Amino acid sequence: MASEVSLSSAKTLDAAPEVEDALVARCRQGDPDAFAGLVSRYEGMVYGLASRLLGDPEEARDVAQEVFLQVFRALDRFEGRSRIKTWIYRIAVNQCRNRRRFWRRRVLAHARPIESMTAQEEARASSEHSLAEDPFASVARRERAARVQAALARLSFDHRAILLLRESDGLTGEEIAAALGIAEGTVKSRLARARDAFRLCLEREPGEETP
Amino acid sequence: MTCDRVKDRLSGYLDDDLQADDSRAVRLHLDVCGACASRWDALRASVQVLRDLPRLVPPESLAPGILSRLEVEGRGPGLALLFRPAWNARPLILPSLFPAALVFVAALGAAVTLEAVPRFVKGNGWAWLGAESLPPVAEVSAPRSRDAVLADDFMPPGEASLFFETQVAQDGRVAEVTLLDGEVADAGRVFNALLRERFEPALYRGRPVKTSVYRLISRLDVHAPET
C-alpha cells in the first residue's frame, strides 16, 4: 500500500475531473470502497503536506486522519466549485493551522522531528530515488533534506504553507488561492515574500534570527 | 530597470508571470548586474531544493483506521465524542456550561435565602447582610448585663489594670473572653468571673446579634503628695 502511495505524485492526483466526480458521488452514497479509494488517492498528499508543515510525522498522521474524517463528514456540503483535491488541501491546511495552535501551548515529550525519520521511512519517502544510490549521495541528500526542513521550520506558518503548496506540491496560483482562501493577487505577493524569506533562512545558519 | 524593481519581480520572473516588456527588462538587468544575478541564482537554487524534496508517505495506509472511526461515529454520538480530538471537543464546553450555571445560580439562591438578604443600610445603600456581615454600630443596641459582675472584687491587691473583650453570643451567653492588655497573672479570677456573666443580647432591628463588650478594669492606689 505504502509503495502505491509513495507513487502518488502530481500525475496520479491529476486524474480526469469526471473520474474525481464519480468517486465523490460514490462516497456521498456511502460506498466504503469509494471512501477507501479517496483516502488512498490523497493520503500521501495530505500526510506529506502535514509532515512538512508540522515537522512531526506522528502529528502528521493524526492530522491526516482528521482531515479525511472531516472530508467525509462535510462531503454533502462540497459544492464542486473547486476540485476535490483543492478542497482537501484547504481542510488539511486549516487542520494543521489549528493543530499547531493547539499543540504550541503544550510541550510534546514524544514529538519526533521530521529530520529524525528512521532509515525505513526515509527509504520509503525517497522511493523515487534509485535503489542503487551511492551511500555518500544518500547521506548528503538526507542532510540536505534536514537542512531544508529546518529552514522551513523557521518560516511563518503562512509562508511555509504557500511554499509547500507551490514548490513541493506544484499547485497553480488559482489552486493555491482556493486552498488558502485568499485572492490570487495575494498569492503572488505572499509567494514572493515567502521565497525571499526561505532563501535567507537557507543562507543563514540555524539559530540565527529568522528574517 | 533599477535593482529594487528587479528584486520585486524576481518571483514573477521565476514563474514566467511577467509582461513581455518587464520580463525582457529583468533579463537584461540580470546580464549586467552581478548582485541581482547572484540573488536570482540563490532564489532559483532555494526553490529547486523545495521542488526536489522527497514526498513523505504514511507508514501504512490511513484508510482502515478512518473507516473504522467512521463506523464508530455511525453507531451513535456517545462513542464518537470519545474519539474526538481535544481541539474539536472544545465547543462541547459551551453546552456543558449551562447545567453548571444552573447549579451555581441555585446554590447562590439558597445561600442568599438562608444566610443573608439584601437590606438597605442607612448611609451605605443596599448591602448583603449575612451571618458574617456586620451591621452598622449606631443601629445596634448595647448588650445589658443581667447580673453585673463586680469585677473589682476579683482584682488582685495593689495596682493593676486589665483590658478585656467579652464576646456576647446571640443568646446572651458569653462566647469568649480575651485579655487584650494587662498581666495574665493578675487576670485569672476576673477572667473566670467574666466567663460566667449573662447578658440581654444586643439587638439590631429587633433581632439578637453577636456583639463584643470592651472593659477596662483598673485599681490604682492614689497617694497624697508628701509635703
Q: Which three cell numbers stand for residue B189?
A: 479570677
Structure letter (DSSP) for residue A29:
T
Please indicate, yes or no, if residue B87 is contained in any of the structural domains: no
Among B14, B36, B51, the domain-final residue is B51
Total tally of structural domains belonging to chain B: 2
A1-112 placed in CATH 1.10.1740.10: yes
Please indicate, yes or no, if residue B176 is contained in any of the structural domains: yes
Identify the closest residue of chain A to B65 by CA–CA distance. A65
- Report helix angle B34-51 to B20-32, nearest 10: 110
Please calculate the CA angle B115-B117-B121 and round it to the nearest 5 degrees.
Answer: 125
Q: What is the pLDDT of residue B87?
A: 54
A211 closest CA partner among A200, B218, A166, B63 = A200
Q: Which one of A52, A68, A126, A162 would you mutate to disrupt binding with B, by most B Cβ within 10 Å of its Cβ?
A: A68
State whether residue B36 sits within 8 Å of chain A by CB.
Answer: no
Please indicate, yes or no, if residue B62 is contained in any of the structural domains: no
* pTM reported for the whole predicted model: 0.58
Q: Do A129 and B54 touch (CB under 8 A)?
A: yes
Please indicate, yes or no, if residue B89 is contained in any of the structural domains: no
Task: Please list every residue in chain A whose beta carbon sits closer than 8 Å to the beta carbon of residue B53.
Answer: 52, 145, 148, 168
**CATH number for position B184:** 3.30.2420
Please indicate, yes or no, if residue B84 is contained in any of the structural domains: no
Residue ranges, chain B, pLDDT below 70: 73-96, 112-135, 148-152, 220-227
Please indicate, yes or no, if residue B168 is contained in any of the structural domains: yes
Structure letter (DSSP) for residue A80:
S
Q: Which three cell numbers stand for residue B131?
A: 451571618
Please indicate, yes or no, if residue B129 is contained in any of the structural domains: no
Which candidate from B51, B61, B87 shows the least CB-CB separation from A167? B51
More confident residue, A21 or A169: A169
Question: Which value, to the nearest 10 degrees, does the dihedral of the CA atoms of residues A59, A65, A67, A73 take?
Answer: -150
Which domain range does residue B28 map to? 3-51
Identify the closest residue of chain B to A64 by CA–CA distance. B62
Q: Do A125 and B11 touch (CB under 8 A)?
A: no
Residue with cell 459582675: B149
Q: Do B53 and A168 touch (CB under 8 A)?
A: yes
pLDDT bucket at A32, cuts 50 / 70 / 90: confident
Average pLDDT for A87-96: 93
Identify the closest residue of chain A to B85 by CA–CA distance. A66
> What sign for the dihedral angle of Cα B200, B203, B208, B214?
negative
Mean pLDDT of chain A: 77
Among B35, B51, B67, the domain-final residue is B51
Cβ-Cβ pairs closer than 8 A, A with B, add up to 130
Rounded Cα gap, residues A35 and A177, in angstroms: 26
Rounded Cα gap, residues A126 and A142, in angstroms: 10
Q: Are A94 and A36 in contact (CB under 8 A)?
A: no
Please indicate, yes or no, if residue B82 is contained in any of the structural domains: no
ipTM, interface predicted TM-score of the complex: 0.76
Longest dimension (CA), chain A: 53
